[in-house]
Amino acid sequence: MQNIRVLQNHYIRVLQKQNNRVIHKRIKTMATIAELLASSLDALKQVQQGNDFTIIRSSDLSRTHIKRLVDNHFLKPIIKGWYVVTDPRAMPGDSTAWYASFWNFITRYANERYGKEWCLSAEQSLSIYTGATTIPNQVLIRAPKGNDYMVPLIPPTSIFNLGAELPSKIDTNNPYHLNLYTLAEAIIVATPTMYRNDALTMRTAFAMVNDSSDILKILVDTGQTVRAGRVIGAFRNIGRMDIADEIAGTMKRMGYTIYEEDPFERVMEIHVSQSPYAVRLRLMWQNMREDANANFTRLKSNLSAKEFLERMETRYKLDAYHSLSIEGYRVTDELINKVKSGAWKPDGEDMDSKNALAARGYWQAFQEVKKSVSDILKGSNSADVAERDLSVWHSEMFMPCVTAGIIKPSDIVGYRSHQVYIRNSMHIPLNPGALRDAMTTLFELLKEEPEACVRAVLGHFLFTYIHPFMDGNGRIGRFLMNVMLASGGYDWLIIPVERRDEYMATLEKASVEGNIVPFVRFLSSI
């Protein structure tokens, strides 16, 4: 949302300048349209001052200001009396601002309606704890004063206000300050349906449990034997026999009869980790690898190392055109030839050209990728090379922007330090605090995977799922995919800009629904 604030300030300055030019020509003191809009933007700025308010209540601004900002697309209605701050340049139907502000709205709405007397359902509490990144179609809010009524929000989202008792404890220690079940109580209360419909979240939650104490305290006090049997069976399913045995033994000593039940549909032992993101990524890889391997039908090239590198060079022009065009840059043959020949001058006529900077950066990054591929074709492990060189590809991609003085050198070092969002996606990339664990896990998975096609497909998908950089994630993700393909003897794959929508839709399906098959088949069809 920082970009929207910058845009607001820009509009205020522009509008004020316009008015300053004409004010001496006016006989009357009546405010111009530009002045009125500038005053409304200034009022919005004051509301947001010192806060990260992307959600506005009707009580925050006057009715006149709100109407003017809505009419000029700086605000978008959510429900009566509630608005989300938007970018007026966004296309109709663009949901990016809403998805970016979604959980902030839920927290503020629930707090204003119910005070402290509310919480999300156990299932949605677990999704938050385990690092789920998808905006749900419906949020279930439990509250003693709930009216069992559904509130439509900006489609396709909604709230269901359920009249229900609250859990014994409420936890607000999460990035959105949502009222949640504690992890232990949410695990106990979760329904059998949750184990079938979202086994990934449930397994991740169980992997986050270090010992049985918190779960046991609830079970022995409440005597929930059926739920105890289900929890014990779930721990055994993921290989945590120590915790399962302790819960079973303690409940028996307390006089309870327990019938164990495995609530999962298949057995899957998992790595125990305190990072939910590491667990989630590993589970996603396990769930997807068979489909990735079975549906990848591209044929190997059987080129020699020398022939492969020569073919990379000949395909650079086409690759640059399509990869940059997918990201929204207007790329021409003239521009590509210019940067390739060295005629592009960052300190001269091209200094302010975003397209030229992107093209030059892509050329520099491509040269580093060629070196990485060369090492792999000589026998180096592809995952080791990717881990070593990925930051080099990224820094070279944006070095022209550093040279031109547009960004600081520190901006291209390390992973991002701010939250980013993907336009119109219900998937929210991982928060900055999760990136180190997530990227470490990704490189581990690449090293453990024997099939090059799986490394390529899932490496690309999970890299863009994580979104570790402020910019360039799509281009680097496609580089990573092709480096992995090269390690298995597959030809360089160029995703045509004409199929951009299909490409993005298949990635969205994998991120939101966990279905990797459309993405694999898409890559195989090129």
- pLDDT tens per residue across span 488-513: 999 999 999 999 999 999 999 999 99
Residue 25 has pLDDT above 80, yes or no: no
Q: For the chain, what are the domain ranges?
A: 2-89, 91-181, 192-272, 277-525
Reported confidence tier of residue 347, pLDDT bands at 50, 70, 90: very low
Amino acid at 100: A
Which residue do the tokens 């990735």 mark?
292
Q: Is the pLDDT of residue 361 over 80?
A: yes
The 10s digit of each residue's pLDDT in 205-224 is: 999 998 999 999 999 999 99
Q: State the pLDDT at residue 339.
A: 54
Q: What is the pLDDT of residues 248-266, one digit of tens each?
A: 999 999 999 999 999 998 8
Is the Cβ–Cβ distance between 324 and 397 less than 8 Å?
A: no
Residue 321: other Cβ atoms inside 10 A: 21
Q: Cα separation of 317 and 160, whole Å?
A: 52
Distance, in Å, from the CA atom of 337 to the CA atom of 332, rounded to the nearest integer, reads 9
Give percent of the chain with pLDDT exceeding 70. 88
Per-position DSSP letters for 205-231, written without gaps between them? HHHT---SHHHHHHHHHHT-HHHHHHH
C-alpha span between 5 and 232 (Å, rounded): 50
Give the torsion through C-alpha atoms of 428, 430, 432, 433, to 10 deg: 140
CB-based contact 146:162 (threshold 8 Å): yes
Contact 238, 203 (CB under 8 A): yes
Mean pLDDT of 419-426: 89
pLDDT given for residue 241 in this prediction: 95
Burial profile 240-252: b = 16 or more Cβ within 10 angstroms, e = fewer: beebbebbbebbe
In the predicted structure, residue 151 carries a pLDDT above the cut 70: yes
Tokens representing 149 are 């009524």
Per-residue pLDDT for 287 more than 80? yes
Strands across the sheet containing 149-152: 119-120, 138-143, 158-163, 149-152
- Give the pLDDT band of residue 16 (cuts 50, 70, 90): low
State in words which class domain 277-525 has. Answer: mainly alpha
Q: How far apart are CA 179 and CA 116, in angstroms?
A: 8
Smallest CA-to-CA distance from 240 within 264, 208, 286 is with 208
Alpha carbons 505 and 250: distance in angstroms, whole number? 49
Whether 161 and 143 have beta carbons less than 8 Å apart is answered as yes
Q: How far apart are CA 485 and CA 479, in angstroms?
A: 10
Rounded to whole angstroms, what are the CA distances from 379 to 154, 230, 385? 53, 49, 11
Q: Cα separation of 59 and 333, whole Å?
A: 54
Contact criterion met (CB below 8 Å) for 492 and 485 = yes
Give the Cα separation of 453 and 180 in Å (integer). Answer: 40
Alpha helices in 433-490 (DSSP H): 435-448, 452-466, 473-487
**DSSP H helical ranges for 254-304:** 276-295
Give rounded-to-5 percent helix, strand, coil for the chain: 60, 5, 35
268 phi, psi to nearest 5 deg: -155, 105
Q: Is a pLDDT exceeding 50 seen at residue 299?
A: yes
pTM of the model: 0.84
Helix H segments across 49-163?
63-71, 96-114, 122-129
Distance of CA 344 to the CA centre of its chain: 35
How many Å apart are CA 513 and CA 199, to the nearest integer? Answer: 12
Q: What is the pLDDT of residue 349?
A: 47
